[in-house]
Structure 1
Amino acid sequence: MNYKKFDNLNLSEIGIGTYLGSSDDITDNNYYETIQEGISRGINVIDTAINYRNMRSEAVIGRVLKETEREKVYLSTKGGYIPVPYYIDEDPTQWFKKEFVETGIVSPSDITQTGNILSREYIEWSFNKSLENLATDYIDIYFIHNPEDQLLKFDRETFYKKLRSVFELLEEKVREKKLKFYGLATWNGFRVPPEHQQFLDLSEIYKIALEVGEDKHHFRFIQFPYNIAMIEAYNLKNQTVNGEKFSTIEAAKKLDIYTYISSPTMQGRLIRAVSPDVLKKFKVSKPVHIPIQFVRSTAGVGTVLIGMSKKEHLIENLEIEDIPPLSPEEIDIMINSR
């Protein structure tokens, strides 16, 4: 397994994502076997979210952690969306009202049209619930889940105030030794132009982290989609750092922020039959390895998160580790020759 050095961490080049799959026992068992196999083969990055598969993805990871040395795994989860637990036997709307609204954790005015919530009270509930689901005393990286959805409802000044409050909470969790780092997991925010309503300005968000935690802040990770079909994080110069324009990947490196890449295969849609010439161009022998090779070979990419709920898929995907990556120059030529 190849590893990326960041701070004092050695993070596996490939990580396991747990978004896909039905909310049932069969999928749980498949994930359980896959994650165990991945750890045995050197994967140490596991990514999830409280709302993935009605909390079942977190619960499965918790089962694995009970049988694994905790320090061997860099575990990330996310909070921001309304999760409906798999174990409730009542109407979800009534459950939410009783659990959140009547207790004062959430006001209906907090909720965006996409079901996103960014408030100190709600993120604290989500964080603590994730600790419980994951059966662990601490989380390595806690991501705020698609915070750009807040900009669909709130103005940018209000958004920054809400984000600051949550950053303050997460710095408290670090001091309590319940958290090591935090960041933002996004879909649109880092791959749209600055004039877009959901654009996330990484430098402005970094400044908030500095104001909250000074030079010892723990805002050190971002997650975003990047693949052969979605190249904006590489070639769209939408971020400004110290007066210079950079892509999101470049800006993250300038600010010493590690990148998790989501959707490298677009949930398998980028895997298709190709000619031998295309395989040769990517220096692989199987079409399944092409999108992985593209992403992992890109300069500035940290860990590539691949959704894998079946052990045989994991084993096949990890064959890429025995294949040399392309050079950053080859990737640059591929992108800029379009």
Structure 2
Amino acid sequence: MATERGTWNYRDRFGDSFGRTYFRRFPPGVAGSVGIGTYLGEPTDAVDNDYRKAITTALDNGINMIDTAINYRCQRSERVVGDVIDTTAVSREEIVVATKGGFLPFDDDGPNDPGRYIREQYVEPEIVDPETLVRGSHSIEAGVIDHLLDRSLSNLDVEAIDCYYVHNPETQLLDRDPEAVYDSLEATFELLERRRAAGDIGCYGLATWEAFRVEPGAEQYLSLPRLLDRAAQAAETVGVDDHGLQVLQLPFNVEMADAFRRATQPAPPDADEEGSVSVLEYAHAVGLHVVTSASIGQGALATSLPPAIAAELAGDTTAQRAINFARSAPGVTAALVGMASPAHVAENVAAGTFDPLGASAFDAIFE
């Protein structure tokens, strides 16, 4: 598992190569504010090899946050991450590893009949109750997450995962009553608190797409204070002092700036004023870390940014400016970028050599 000393040692080796605040606090110590994602690509040996090279290059050049999920590329992304961790010269204690569970994963290169595969691999062995499946492949029930977490530990070949996300929990709201979804999440938080106490995970979080960007009352809306209350109740039930819900992952980029622009959450505790605030403001106020996904729009923003915004951002390339937009947002800890080749790594990690915008300068972009 990553440790405070290990991640700070990593920072000390690379810190002078980067701009101001490139390394930021992240449990249990620090992490670079550019992280490597492993979502894109076909489930093939060739893509596996590209990812091995890219992740190794990332670790060797100042990126120590690796983000994956059990369903990415039919479990291949997790296994590639595990291969690199096993062979890299970088210590495991220096690497922040995050993965996710919620979507039932296929294996290897995917089945010809996905429905049959889900039935034979998950329903018939009673790993998942079909009544809790949404859209045929998504479940956040505690027993399912317990199973998926064990499989992720095996895929990654690590003793512990530093941050474990419940993956797109708002998917459940497409077919289920909101109160039932909150109840399921509380039960899963209890499970994750027990796994945290056992040393299997360092902390947990919610990796979302719609949940915190849409208005209250929207079909896939989730209330952050309600979720935190459920996490606190789960911790109390398990008998631990402080809950381990410490991280949010959500999409954020120049074209998807709802997490900053849209007031979707109530005013945080002890706020000076009543009213609603953005999820970034709420998360910052209560001490949650935010990690951005789709930081360059899955590649779409690597070649084109609105000129007025690009002019405010530092970077030698459009991709670097897009990354620096995401990691400059107040309350953001790290921006994830998919990197499937060493060339992508070299360009993207170099974004960290430029200072991010200050909070007031970032605010000015939206005035």
Q: Which TM-score tier does this pair reach, normalised by the shorter chain?
A: over 0.9
Please, which moves more after superposition, 120-129 or 109-118?
A: 109-118
Shift of 1:327: 2.0
TM-score of the two chains, using structure 1 as the length reference: 0.94
User: What SS class does the counterpart of residue 147 from structure 2 fall into?
Assistant: helix
**Amino acid in structure 2 at the alignment position of 1:126:** L
Matched, 1:322 2:353: yes
The answer as to whether partners of 2:111 and 2:117 remain within 8 angstroms in 1 is: no
For 2:251, which of 225, 238, 253 is the aligned residue?
225
**2-structure distance, mates of 1:276, 1:111:** 44
**Would you say 1:267 and 2:298 are equivalent positions?**
yes
Q: 1:278: Cα distance to partner?
A: 6.3
1:4 equivalent to 2:24? Answer yes
| Residue equivalent to 2:13 | none
Q: Deviations over 1:210-264 (max 9, x none)?
A: 1111441101011000110011100211111236522101111112111110001
Question: Which deviations, in whole Å up to 9, do the C-alpha atoms of 1:120-167 show, x marking residues without a partner?
Answer: 111111100001100111111110000001111111110111001100
In the alignment, structure 1 residue 41 sits paired with structure 2 residue 61 = yes
Bigger Cα displacement from structure 2, 266-275 vs 31-40: 266-275
2:332 aligned partner: 301
In structure 1, C-alpha distance between the alignment counterparts of 2:298 and 2:164, rounded to whole Å: 23
Mapped pair 1:154 → 2:176:
yes
Change in CA separation of 1:195 and 1:315 when aligned onto 2, cut-off 3 Å: same
Tell me which amino acid in the other structure corresponds to 1:317: N
Instruction: Structure 1: state its 5+ residue gaps.
Output: none
Higher mean C-alpha deviation, range 23-32 or range 111-120: 111-120
Equivalence for 2:155: 133
- 2:276 is equivalent to residue 245 of structure 1: yes
Q: Secondary structure at the match of 2:176?
A: coil
Compute the TM-score of the two structures, normalised by the length of structure 2.
0.87
Q: Distance in 2 between matches of 1:317 and 1:289?
A: 6
**Does the alignment pair 1:205 with 2:227?**
yes
State the percentage of identical aligned residues: 34
**Which position in structure 1 is the counterpart of 2:108?**
86
Q: Which runs of 4+ in 1 moved over 2 A?
A: 87-96, 241-245, 271-281
Q: CA offset at residue 88 of structure 1?
A: 7.1
Question: Is 1:29 the equivalent of 2:29?
Answer: no
Quote the Cα distance in structure 2 between the aligned partners of 1:279 and 1:229: 12
Closer, same or farther: CA 209–273 of 1 in aligned 2, 3 Å: closer
The answer for the alignment partner of 1:51 in structure 2 is: 71
Q: In the alignment, is residue 66 of structure 1 matched against residue 86 of structure 2?
A: yes
Counterpart of 1:326 in 2: which secondary structure? coil
In the alignment, does 2:195 pair up with 1:184? no
Gaps of 5+ in 2: 1-17
1:328 is displaced (CA, Å) by: 1.8
Q: Distance in 1 between matches of 2:69 and 2:116?
A: 23
Aligned to 1:98: 120
